[in-house]
Amino acid sequence: MKKTLFLLVLSILTLDVFAQNIIPKPVEIKNIAGAYNITAATTIGANNAESQKIAEMFAAKLQKAAGLTPKIQKTGAIQFTINATPNTIIGNEGYTLEATNAGVKIAANKPAGLFYGFQSLLQLLPKEIESKSVSKGVKWNVPGVKVVDYPRFGWRGLMLDVSRHFFSKADVKRYIDDMVRYKFNTLHWHLTDDNGWRVEIKSLPKLTEVGAWRVARDGHFGDRKDPQDGEPTSYGGFYTQDDVREIIKYADERGVTIIPEVDVPGHSMAAIAAYPYLSCTKDPKTKVNPGTNFAEWYGGGKFRMFIDNTLNPSDEKVYEFLDKVFTELAALFPNKYIHVGGDECYKGFWEKDPGCQALMKKMNMHEVEQLQGYFMKRVETILNAKGKKLLGWDEILEGGISPTATLMSWRGVKGGIEAAKMGHDVVMTPSTFAYLDYNQGEATIDPPIYATLRLSKTYSFDPVQEGVDPKYILGGQGNLWTEQIPTIRYAEYMTFPRAWALADIFWSPKDSKDWNNFTKRMEAHFERADAAEMGYSKAVYDAIVKASEKDGKLIAELGSELADVDVYYTMDDTMPDNFSTKYTQPFEVPDAQITLRVATYRNGKPIGHLITLKREDLKKRVGR
């Protein structure tokens, strides 16, 4: 009897913990007595055609993972309901969810909210619900719970760059599936850049005949060999307009809006390779860039381009070209925005171009930066004529922008603060918190990239900065640039778990933020990601190694992002384990040919990567 009671209590406690593992964290979640067990007899209810679609998605999940084929009818034990009378608390994307012994009820005002309730229901079920095949011996229990949930921000985005590396239609759908598990609702689709033009424009066929393909190159992006004349351009790809429509439909069924980006006037080498007349230099030998170094960076945002990758703002043919591009894009994408880039536009070729100088004189411009403002206003006029709003990176502030333009703040938060104070709508996506291509942990373990962004730093982000009126902050976004990301699984590895942190930030109440609580939920989702065969990084388990100098001595400082992880180290050419020296405080590194080896453990078990650094490596970290 005692054993039975113990097992019952353990089962209830396990389910209660289960209920608290939802990402993003719900506004209100209360454990209640009981649990609903899904069986072969379970029915699914849907009160109209819109809720029926979500009920069918859930039934498909159960069939794949549990081997169950529940009947869908008007009312059922698991009920999906679009409210006849709106619940004013939850808005358009919120939902209520209640699970008891008798069943599960999910209700929302709109299909998007019902879909997010469905995602929370999936997270309440055992991790095997994410499996791609039937899991045997699983009890499909939904813990007793009551949830009232709605988002903090309306814009909860991720950006996928498909120019640096092309991702197939199936890959893009997979990324959308990854997003919606965590209630992201916006996919920013970076479709064009120096390294490839990825969307069919029927009136400009060379954009994909030429601009979508480049020479094949191995090695680190930025260190590759220049393309040679006559070399075959075998790497690349593009989306036909039918592909785009299919992906938009797929996203729409899952509550995701797709924002297309055509990056102009800079980052346009692929377009110029197809149509050389678009640039100032009009070089017919311009090629789609395969990842070579074609710029010199001086710091502080200053740089010089070796190759002209910028559209000519003084040439009317450029605006005729853009009108054709945006005419076709506006017809394809139903959302109100088209992103036009505007970032990292090198103006050195404009300074030397007679046409640009003549335009500056005609328009009484005193600085070449004003040409970008002129260009952007012309582009905005084109977009507005097609019923679209201009969206761009924070450089569009240079040279002035119209009051109706919307800005994405990527160079930190400064541009977003400035734009919001000017009355512009802003999406906060600063590289300092939200660039998912940045290294996630120890630089000697993950492949090299030019900056580091740890999970804890991402989690510390808040889109509404001090002194800014929140009404101008649409929300936030994580950006995944893909110079070093050739596959969709590695795209997942770089996106998660940092995007889980962003999901909490964009959805959950600000005052609910709790790092220790988040990391516990994160670890539960590592297991769910394994079941889903989804990529993710465990860099959060690795030690943090810093160095400083004091009184001429080299000092090492070790740490961890997690409070319950122990750090051990050696400097005597032995491999560290949990019987080695445990780190408790900064220590002096001997002035000798030593190697510092660092390992992390939890509860006596190894948990992170082994980090190995020579003394000279540590010295390079001083001051960082």
| b/e code 164-182 from CB counts within 10 Å (16+ = b) | bbbbebebbbbbbebbbbb
Q: Is 91 left (phi over 0), alpha (psi -120 to 50) or beta?
A: left
Residue 485 CB contacts under 8 Å (≥ 6 apart), including other chains:
164, 165, 437, 491, 494
CA distances in angstroms from 378 to 275, 335, 382, 599, listed in the order given: 20, 21, 6, 57
Alpha-carbon span 190 to 179, nearest angstrom: 16
Q: Are 461 and 475 a contacting pair, CB within 8 Å?
A: no
Residue 202 CB contacts under 8 Å (≥ 6 apart), including other chains:
241, 328
Paired with 235 in beta bridges are 214
Q: Is 344 a catalytic residue?
A: yes
Rounded (10°) angle between helices 49-66 and 111-124: 20
Alpha-carbon span 622 to 556, nearest angstrom: 9
Q: Which two tokens stand for residue 227?
A: 């393309």
Q: Which two tokens stand for residue 85?
A: 């009378």
Instruction: Considering the candidates 130, 261, 328, 344, report the single residue annotated as catalytic.
Output: 344
Report which residue type is found at 367.
Answer: E
Report which residue type is found at 82.
Answer: I
Report which residue type is found at 229.
Answer: D
Q: How buried is residue 292: exposed, middle or buried, by Cβ count under 10 Å (0-12/13-18/19+)?
A: buried
| 545 sits in which H/E element | strand 544-550
CA distances in angstroms from 246 to 180, 196, 370, 519, 532, listed in the order given: 17, 21, 40, 36, 23
Alpha-carbon span 177 to 181, nearest angstrom: 7
CA 226 to chain centre: 30
Alpha-carbon span 435 to 498, nearest angstrom: 9
Q: Are 552 and 563 a contacting pair, CB within 8 Å?
A: no
- Beta strand 192-193 pairing with 295-299: unpaired
Could you tell me what percentage of the chain is helix, strand and coil, using 3-state DSSP and rounding each to the nearest 5?
Answer: 35, 25, 40
Q: Is 399 left (phi over 0), alpha (psi -120 to 50) or beta?
A: left
- H helices then E strands: how many in the chain? 18, 29
3-class DSSP state of 437: coil
Q: Are 68 and 43 a contacting pair, CB within 8 Å?
A: no
Q: What letter would DSSP give residue 226? A: P
CA 281 to chain centre: 36
Give me the residue label for tokens 């499909």. Answer: 140
| 337 sits in which H/E element | strand 337-341
Enumerate the H helices of 363-430 as residue ranges.
369-385, 414-421
- Beta strand 389-393 pairing with 406-409: parallel
Active site residues: 344
